A and B are shown apart, each in its own frame.
Chain A
Amino acid sequence: MDLDVAESEILGLIGPNGAGKTTFFNVINGFLPPASGKVLFEGRDITGLKAHKIARLGVSRTFQATTLFMKISVLDNIFTGYHMSYKTSVWERLLRTPSALKEEERLKQEAMEIQKFMGLGPLKDEVAENLSHGHQRILGVCLALATHPKLLLLDEPLTGMNPVEIQTMVGLIKQIRSRGISIILVEHDIKAVMSLCDRIVVLNYGRKIAEGLPEEIRKNKKVVEAYLGKEES
C-alpha cells in the first residue's frame, strides 16, 4: 500500500468492503500503528505519533459511523473543534482576561462562519442528535474543518444520504478543495467519486491494485474483478 496526495488534490480511495480503507485512515490519523512502513506529512515523518498530535499538524478526518458530540448543540460541536486554535495562554483563559474573552468571541464567530458555509446556519442551537442524518454528516465535516486542516480524510461522507443531500455534500467538498485543502475521499458512490476526484486509488485486501485518473480506473480490468469477483471461466 503506497500512495501520495498533492496539495489541493482530491484523491479517491475505493475498494470493496473490508478492503482496509478505514484502517488506512486510522493509520494516517494516528489511531493505529502501521504494520510496516511510514507516513510522511509535508516531509515530516508522523508514523506512530498520537492522534491528537497528528491533528495538530493539520490532518483531520470524519468517521464512517456518524461521530459527533451528540448531546450538545451544533454550534458547541463546531466550537469544540477550535480547541487547538487558542493563542492566549492558559492563565489568561482561566482568569478570563479581556484578551481571552475577545479570542473566544472571535473563535465563536469563526465557528458560525463555518456553519453558514456548510449550510447549517439556522440550526445553530439545535442539539446534534436531533438533526437529520444528512445534516449530521455535514456537521461531521464542519467539525473536521474547524481544525484548519491541510489534509482532510473523508470516510464515506455520502452514506445514507438522499440525492438532494448528496448534491449538497458534493458541492461542499468542491468548495473545501477550492480553499486549498487536500482531500482523501473514501466513498462507495461511484458516480460521486468519478465526478469529484482528480485521481483514484483502488484497494483490495489491504493492497493497492490500481491507481490513476478516473477514466483509466473505470476501464481497469482488475478493478472490475475486485468488485464483481473473478469471472467464471
Chain B
Amino acid sequence: MAKLKRWDFKQINRLHSKLLGLFISFVAIAALPLLVDSPYYVHLLIMVGMNSILAMTFILTLRTGFVSLANAAFWGVGAYALTLLVTRWDLSVWLALPASAVITGIVAFLVGIILVRNAGFAFLMLTALLGMVTVLVFGTFDVFGGYVGIVNIPAPEPIKLPFLPPIEFISKTPYYYLMVLLFIIVVAVLSTFYAAWSGRAWRAIDLSPHLAESLGINLFRYRLLAFVLASAVAGLMGGFYACYFGAVVPSTFDIFKTFYIHIYAILGGIGFAFLGPVIGSFIFTLVPEVLRITKEVEPIFTGLLLILLVMFLPDGLLSLLSLSRRPSHPGENMERIVRWIKASPRPRG
C-alpha cells in the first residue's frame, strides 16, 4: 500500500476530500429529522433508505449475470417471518429482526440450490414464478392471515440506555435512526464482500463466465452466495418494514414491487452497487413529492420515466456525470464527484 507522503498534496487532498465528504454526510443524515418538520417527510426518508437497500440487493444478483424477479418476494418472506415470530411466538422484535434476515437467507439457500443451477433465462422465469407463488402462499394459508394480512404488529421494544430516557418507538424519528443503522450495517457487509475475493469472483463471472470457470471459479457457488446474501438483506428490510408499518398484506410483496425495485436501480445506474440505488430511490421517491404527483397519476409518471430512461439513458442518471463504472482505485468516483462540484462556475472574488 502506498504510504502517505508528507509532500504528496494530491494524495492528501484526496484523503481530505473523502473524509470531509463523509463527515458532512454523516452530520447531515443525523440531523435530518430535526430539520424536517413533518413526520411525513421522515417517513419518506425511511422509505428511501429501505428502497435503496432493496435496489442494492437486486444489483448484487445482477452482478453475477442473473436478473431476479423475486426481490419483493424475499422482502415479504422477511416481513412475514418477523411478524410470525413476534405475534405468534412472542419473540422480542430486536431478536426477530436479525432472525428475519437469517430465515430469509435459509429459504433463499434452499430455493437457490434449485434455481441457481439454471441458465439466465430460466432463472428469470423461475424467480418470476417464485414471486407469484410467494404472494399466493401468503394469501391462501390462514397462518399468514390470508389476503387480509396481519395487523397490530408491535413496534420494537424501547431501548433503555443508562442516564438517558428510554428510546421509544412511537414517532417516526427513532425508526429513522434505526434505518440509518441498518443501512450502515448493510453497506458495510456488502462492501466487505465486494472488496474481497468474492467480489472479484463475481466481477469475473459478470464479465466472462466461461473464462471465470476455466480459472477455477465455481459459478454455482458464487451465484448462490450472491443470491442468498441479497435475499437475506431483503429479508432484513422486510423485518424492519413489518415492525415499522405494523401490518403486512400479501399484495404489498407482489411482482409489481419487484419492478419498482428494478426501476430504483436502473434510474441510478446499475453499474453502481451503492451509489446508484441510493440516488435512484432518492429521486424516485422525492421527485413525485416535489411535483405533487397524486397517487392516481403516479404509475403513469413512473411508467413514462422508465420508458424514457430505457430509451435515452440506459445507464442511469449517474452516467451523466461520466463516472467510471469500475473505478481503478477505491475513492476514484468520489474524487470525480468532488472535482465536478469544485469545477462548477463560481463567482471569482
What residues on A are CB-neighbors of B210 within 8 Å? 31, 63, 67
Segment 66-89 of A: residues with Cβ below 8 Å from B: 67-73, 76, 79-81, 83-84, 86
Given contacts A52-B219, A72-B326, contact A67 B197 (CB under 8 A): no
Q: Annotate B314-346 by CB proximity to A: 1 below 8 A, 0 otherwise.
A: 000000000001101000000000000000000
User: A84–B215 contact, CB under 8 A?
Assistant: yes
Interface size on A, residues (CB 8 A): 33
Chain B interface, >50% SS class: helix
Given the complex of chains A and B, what is the CA–CA distance between A52 and B219 in angstroms? 8
User: B213–A55 contact, CB under 8 A?
Assistant: yes
Q: Considering the complex, give the chain B residue whose CB is closest to the CB of A86.
A: B197
Q: Considering the complex, give the chain A residue whose CB is closest to the CB of B219.
A: A52
Given the complex of chains A and B, what is the CA–CA distance between A83 and B200 in angstroms? 8
User: A81–B215 contact, CB under 8 A?
Assistant: yes
Given the complex of chains A and B, what is the CA–CA distance between A30 and B201 in angstroms? 19
Q: Decide if B147 is an interface residue (CB 8 Å cutoff).
A: no
Given the complex of chains A and B, what is the CA–CA distance between A144 and B216 in angstroms? 10
Question: Number of A-B pairs whose CB atoms are under 8 Å?
Answer: 78
Residue among B192, B207, B208, B215 making CB contact with A83, cutoff 8 Å: B215
Given contacts A63-B211, A67-B210, A69-B207, contact A52 B217 (CB under 8 A): yes
User: B326–A69 contact, CB under 8 A?
Assistant: no
Interface range on chain B (Cβ under 8 Å from partner)? 20 to 34
What residues on A are CB-neighbors of B219 within 8 Å? 52
Given the complex of chains A and B, what is the CA–CA distance between A70 and B196 in angstroms? 20
Q: Decide if B214 is an interface residue (CB 8 Å cutoff).
A: yes
What residues on A are CB-neighbors of B200 within 8 Å? 76, 79-80, 83
Q: Decide if B14 is an interface residue (CB 8 Å cutoff).
A: no
Segment 16-49 of A: residues with Cβ below 8 Å from B: 29-31
Given contacts A67-B211, A69-B203, contact A83 B217 (CB under 8 A): yes
Instruction: Using CB atoms and an 8 Å cutoff, list the residues of chain A in contact with chain B.
Output: 29-31, 50-52, 55-56, 60-61, 63, 67-73, 76, 79-81, 83-84, 86, 93-94, 96, 125, 143-144, 146-147
- Enumerate 8 A-B pairs (CB-CB under 8 Å) in ascending A order: A69-B203, A70-B208, A72-B203, A79-B200, A80-B201, A83-B200, A93-B196, A96-B196
